[in-house]
Amino acid sequence: MKLNVVTIDGPSASGKGSLARNLAEYLHFSILDSGLLYRVYAYFHNLNLGTEEIPLLIQKDISFKFNHKDVIVLNDQEDITSELRSEKMAKKASELSSLPTTRENLLSIQRNFYQNKGLVADGRDMGTVVFPEAKLKIFLTASVEIRAERRYLELQNRGQEVNMLALIEDIKQRDLKDSTRTLSPLIPAEDSVVVDSSDMSIEEVLSFTKKLTKGIK
Ligand code: DC
């Protein structure tokens, strides 16, 4: 049976996060930012916590607060969002994401985000592995340069210092790692709609994908 889920997969900085938030708001669905979950996993890993402990801690202490513009992550009462959003944590999450234990540990946590009212889930393997029964699967991509420019502005807005060339290199490395790993590599699901947003504004992507959601509820 098909699930009331919209999956949005794609490489780093392709605009999945903002599209997911906008579509979730439009459809009145809940939201799963799975990349952020991988970053939370990396955050706990950096604190030297064991792989059996981390999933329990995520379920016990971590909460995600969504609003139109952003996602706030609280560890107990502490806001850890900007630490999670750093390039350092992105790299660590990417490294850990190629390990089978990490992916197994996070699989059921991700599936639990689906409640009857519907879910928009963004990540790398939402349509291929986590929600293969999703009613609508979108694969959102854009050129490396465009993605680096968007990430640059995002990090600058968050007050983080960034070097454009280093950022392009980081994104290329992460693309390569994410798409060539054996487990859940970043590839479009066979039944996904591929959207290249290189020459599209956020509004254009949103209005195109809103049309795709017709009849989903
Ligand atoms: O989307 P993001 O940049 O926040 O994701 C951080 C890292 O987590 C990314 O480099 C790969 C990993 N990831 C993954 O392997 N599978 C997902 N569904 C989401 C993220």
| Ligand 1 geometric centre to CA of 136 (Å) | 20
| Ligand 1 geometric centre to CA of 31 (Å) | 15
pLDDT in tens, 159-217: 888 899 999 998 999 899 888 988 888 999 999 999 999 999 989 999 999 999 997 87
State the average pLDDT over residues 12-26.
Answer: 92
| Ligand 1 geometric centre to CA of 96 (Å) | 10
pLDDT computed for residue 4 by the predictor:
96
The rounded distance, in Å, linking the Cα atoms of 111 and 69 is 24
Q: Encode 178-210: b = buried (16+ Cβ within 10 Å), e = exposed.
A: beebeebebebbeebeebebeebeeeebbeebe
Identify the residue whose C-alpha is closest to ligand 1 atom 15: 97
The rounded distance, in Å, linking the Cα atoms of 157 and 151 is 10
Nearest to 12 by CA among 131, 133, 108, 97: 97
- Residue 92, ligand 1, Cβ within 6 A: no
- Residue 15, ligand 1, Cβ within 6 A: no
pLDDT computed for residue 141 by the predictor:
96
Burial category of 50 from C-beta neighbours within 10 Å (exposed 0-12, middle 13-18, buried 19 and up): exposed
User: What residues contact residue 134 under an 8 Å CB cut-off, 6+ apart?
Assistant: 2, 3, 5, 6, 7, 121, 126, 127
Identify the residue whose C-alpha is closest to ligand 1 atom 2: 35
| Ligand 1 geometric centre to CA of 180 (Å) | 14
Task: Share the mean pLDDT of the chain.
Answer: 93
Q: Which atom of ligand 1 is nearest to the CA of 177?
A: 10
Q: Evaluate if residue 87 carries a pLDDT over 90.
A: no
The two tokens of residue 157 are 């807005």
The rounded distance, in Å, linking the Cα atoms of 217 and 120 is 12
DSSP 50-61: -TTHHHHHHHHH
The rounded distance, in Å, linking the Cα atoms of 67 and 186 is 27
State the average pLDDT over residues 133-145.
Answer: 97
Domains of the chain: 3-204 (3.40.50.300)
pLDDT in tens, 58-76: 999 999 998 767 889 999 9
- Residue 97, ligand 1, Cβ within 6 A: yes
The two tokens of residue 202 are 């956020």
Question: How would you classify the pairing of strands 30-33 and 119-123?
Answer: parallel
Q: Are 11 and 186 in contact (CB under 8 A)?
A: yes
What pTM, to 2 d.p., does this model score? 0.92
Q: Which atom of ligand 1 is nearest to the CA of 110?
A: 18
Backbone φ and ψ of 10, nearest 5° = 160, 170
The rounded distance, in Å, linking the Cα atoms of 102 and 55 is 9
| Ligand 1 geometric centre to CA of 123 (Å) | 6
